[in-house]
Structure 1
Amino acid sequence: MFKSVSSSLLWRGLLAVAIGVVSVAWPNVTVGAMVILFAVYAFIAAAADGARAFAGRSAGPVIGYLLLALLDVVAGIAAIAWPGITALVLTIWIAAWAFVSGVIEVAMAFRQGEEAGERAMWALTGLVSIALGVVLAIRPDLGAVSLAAVFGLFSIVYGVSTLVLSAQLRKAGSATQNLAESVG
């Protein structure tokens, strides 16, 4: 168990650092990519909802899924037609995500059985995430390009702290395995 969780944290940390470096180096590209990814997601969701509409046996779900597919298509077209507004909405959405995930990470710092270093890392990542969410929510008008740079810095800090947690978990797993072998 320790190995799979620590490996997951390792890959998550490496990905966060890589995304952070790209976001800081090319913030305009990052904003454009976020808008395009949202549009692609909306079109894929439309196709899935359209397919699901005809998978049911009654007319009620067909109409509901077709309406969802239509809404998804409209959202994708709107994202492409008005990338600025889409970037602003995504900025607000990311603010909410960062705040909520930060609160959860701070709460995780107070779980029983955690070592002081692990508590500090959970608390640090959570507080950085909360700060990002608050700043973005207070001033979303500062622009999505600023978000890309701040998000990049956040991703780097988050990635490094996740890599540290991965190493600590891997070390704890090795210690547990050595103890189990010496007892057994």
Structure 2
Amino acid sequence: MSSSFGTNPLASNPLGGARRLNRAYSSGHLLVLGGIDVVAGLIALAWPGVTVLVLALIFGLMLLMAGLVAIGIGSVVRRAGGSPAATWVVGGVAVLAGLICIFHPGAGVWAIVLGCSLWFLLTGVGDLLVAAASPAHRVWFGILGVVSIVAAVVLLVHPGVAIVTVALVAGIAFLVRGAGELALGWRLRSITR
């Protein structure tokens, strides 16, 4: 069989494709990753506070790296004859925010909660504006807007709800991913035998 992109190697030898995939992602590799992800998911569900602190540390590291990259880009812009001021300011703020999150992870947790709250508030207001401006699906956009604004208020008034929710979502995501990796690992093991 062929397509506009050439010959399909799986059509002539279905196990050949599995063997190539097995070389890239061995069944043992996937089983180990799946096991790690399942354990991480269980830890996230058992200790949501610790999970969110770890996420805040990761958030801080990401901000720090993004800030350093922005400062580097500003230097490249300067060498090219451009004005790097805005890029350096953004990079400096990101580095500072990253360091604060790393050394005070509670600040990172608050940043996550405030960011989620702000996002819900803005999307809620946007949905209400769409509902007011458009007769099509007005009720649905109105409901979405009200639910989003209520979610923003709940997150601001009860930040513990946001913390537990983030940990639960992370835990469930790890469990689902881990189960998928385990299933694929077992499947590859059975195909290549």
Normalised to the residue count of structure 1, the TM-score between the two structures is: 0.52
Instruction: Tell me the matched-pair count.
Output: 124
Tell me the equivalent position of 2:163: 148
| Paired AA for residue 121 in structure 1 | W
The answer as to whether partners of 1:102 and 1:126 remain within 8 angstroms in 2 is yes
Segments of 5+ residues of structure 2 without an aligned counterpart are: 1-40, 169-193
Return the offset for 1:103: 1.0
Tell me the equivalent position of 1:33: 55
Change (3 A) 1:34 1:80: closer
Question: Are 1:55 and 2:77 an aligned pair?
Answer: yes
Identity %: 19
Q: 1:120 aligns with which of 130, 139, 147?
A: 139
Tell me the equivalent position of 1:43: 65
Deviation string, structure 1 residues 103-159 (Cα, Å, up to 9, x no partner):
111222234341xxx33322222111101212333x2xx44x421345699xxxxxx
Tell me the equivalent position of 1:78: 100
Return the offset for 1:50: 1.9
The answer as to whether partners of 1:106 and 1:127 remain within 8 angstroms in 2 is yes
Tell me the equivalent position of 1:180: none
The answer as to whether partners of 2:52 and 2:109 remain within 8 angstroms in 1 is no
Question: Are 1:129 and 2:148 an aligned pair?
Answer: yes
Change (3 A) 1:148 1:126: farther
TM alignment of 1:101-112, pairs within 5 A? 101-112=123-134
CA distance in 1, matches of 2:140, 2:116: 22
CA distance in 2, matches of 1:121, 1:87: 32
Q: Which ranges of 4 or more aligned residues in structure 1 deviate by more than 6 Å?
A: none
Change (3 A) 1:100 1:85: same
Normalised to the residue count of structure 2, the TM-score between the two structures is: 0.50
CA distance in 2, matches of 1:110, 1:135: 24
CA distance in 1, matches of 2:166, 2:144: 13
Change (3 A) 1:113 1:41: same
Segments of 5+ residues of structure 1 without an aligned counterpart are: 1-21, 154-184
CA distance in 2, matches of 1:66, 1:109: 40
Change (3 A) 1:25 1:73: same
Return the offset for 1:42: 4.1
Change (3 A) 1:62 1:112: closer
